[in-house]
Amino acid sequence: MSTDSLIFRAALVQLRSESVVETNLEAAEAGIRAAAQGGADYVQTPENTSMMVLKTRELFEKVLPEKGNPAVGRFSALAKELGIWLHIGSIAIRLSDAKVANRSFLYTPQGGIAARYDKIHMFDVDLPNGESYRESKNYQPGHRAVMAELPWGKLGLTTCYDLRFPALYRSLAQAGAQFITVPSAFTKQTGEAHWHVLLRARAIENGVYILAAAQGGDHDMGRATFGHSLIVSPWGEILAEAGTDPEVVFAEIDPARVADARARIPSLRHDRVFEPPEVAEIVPVKEAS
């Protein structure tokens, strides 16, 4: 644990999850242990930590409810053993015979669950390269924003595709979040185009740290993810970045930098209510007589 109570060490565990749950849990545990050994107080894994599958039948053959779920219990025990704040980017949780939650878990150093967050925005898209995703087919979207109290400040939780909806981040920042998480499994194509700029934009416009652990590389089900796990400062600086292979990256997080960024550009206090847009009427200009 950091000796200065106002500063903490964050670690992002980049993974390349597959369709075999036990293999993924072992890889995640190894990365988390490496992060703790490196002095991390807070450790985050990516979206889809427990498994990455594309076929509906395979998903429902493997997904389990939260109660009695071995992954949920395993990470609780690991957080307690290592004495860290452990944020599992997401685990697929069965809600019914037809729907699954894409659920984040934040564990305390005592192994308790401090917060759960179900991903709100569903990734339904057809990409130009022929890839097609229909997350809403199997997953039930969450309906509320979630924030948790860490020893160093407030943490806002988001996941992957949420990144494209800035109102969620604005809401969290205005509610007091100083750090916002974006555990992700961005596709290679969209990541190359938008990952860095969107994460930096969310940090800058809200004066927050962004902590975004990612999946990276070619997965066994045929999907390619972008990687490049990032920690971004409230001023938009990249403090830590991974490549495309599984690894652990670290950065020191100083909450005082949040206050400094917000003092320099106090835009969180300057939002105004305005009328929705409408097409302006063209008014002809009268010539002077």
> Is 55 marked active-site?
no
CB of 156 closer than 8 Å to CB of 173: yes
Tokens linked to 272 = 């105004």
Tokens linked to 192 = 């190359």
Q: How far is CA 79 from CA 189, 194, 275, in A?
A: 34, 33, 48
> Is 47 marked active-site?
yes
Interatomic CA distance for residues 257 and 265, integer angstroms = 12
> Is 287 marked active-site?
no
Looking at 160, 247, 252, 286, which residue is catalytic? Answer: 160
3-state DSSP assignment of residue 143? coil
Strands (E), 153-196: 153-157, 179-181
Question: What's the half-sphere exposure (Cβ side, CA atoms, 13 Å) at 131?
Answer: 17
Interatomic CA distance for residues 87 and 89, integer angstroms = 6
What is the enclosing helix (H) or strand (E) of 135? helix 135-138
> Residue 264: what residue type?
R
Looking at 18, 119, 281, 286, which residue is catalytic? Answer: 119
Strand partners, 73: none
Helix 166-174, helix 196-206: angle, nearest 10: 30
Looking at 47, 58, 61, 247, which residue is catalytic? Answer: 47
Active-site positions? 47, 119, 160
